[in-house]
Structure 1
């Protein structure tokens, strides 16, 4: 069995919709979108918004890391937070704001 390699491109493809902005095409834009979404979700009273900030921090570490191992670790940590939260939070946000 082969392991799936988690890349920045994989995370962008999976989570770039979170801020309801044009789809991110790079990691820096995804980080910016998470930073935009977190206070919006907080204002809407959605639990877990602080985890978006944490995921953005992990992605920033991955983006600016010089070591491939630490980059992979930070990408994995961000993915775990986003995987658990983003779908439900986005649906809740859309329902709250009437989208």
Structure 2
């Protein structure tokens, strides 16, 4: 059984709605917009005292690296790391929603 490779679009699709809520924008449709919203969301999480804001900021940096590399092995590893760092975003967004 083969497993489909994780893509930047998968990561965007998975977290765009929650990140857009925190960043007060529309859900991102592309990786560039999404990484920008991650930076804004990280700042808002920090201001609200939501734990994990550093992971969101780091994920934005990693996703920019993914967009700038042609090395497929590096892309795969970086995407996996970004997805891992973002795994708590739904819970973080829920916590943020209760504070706002």
TM-score, shorter chain, exceeding 0.5: yes
How far 1:4 moved relative to its partner? 2.8
Match of 1:91 in 2: 94
Runs of 5+ unmatched residues, structure 2 = none
2:78 aligned residue (66, 74, 78)? 74
Describe the SS at the equivalent of 1:51. Answer: helix
Task: Calculate the aligned-residue CA RMSD, in Å.
Answer: 0.9
Question: Unaligned 5+ residue runs, structure 1?
Answer: none
Aligned to 1:9: 9
TM-score (normalised: structure 1): 0.91
Aligned to 1:19: 20
CA shift digits 1:44-96 (9 cap, x unpaired): 0101101100111110110111211111111110001111x101000000110
Structure 1 runs (4+) greater than 6 angstroms displaced: none
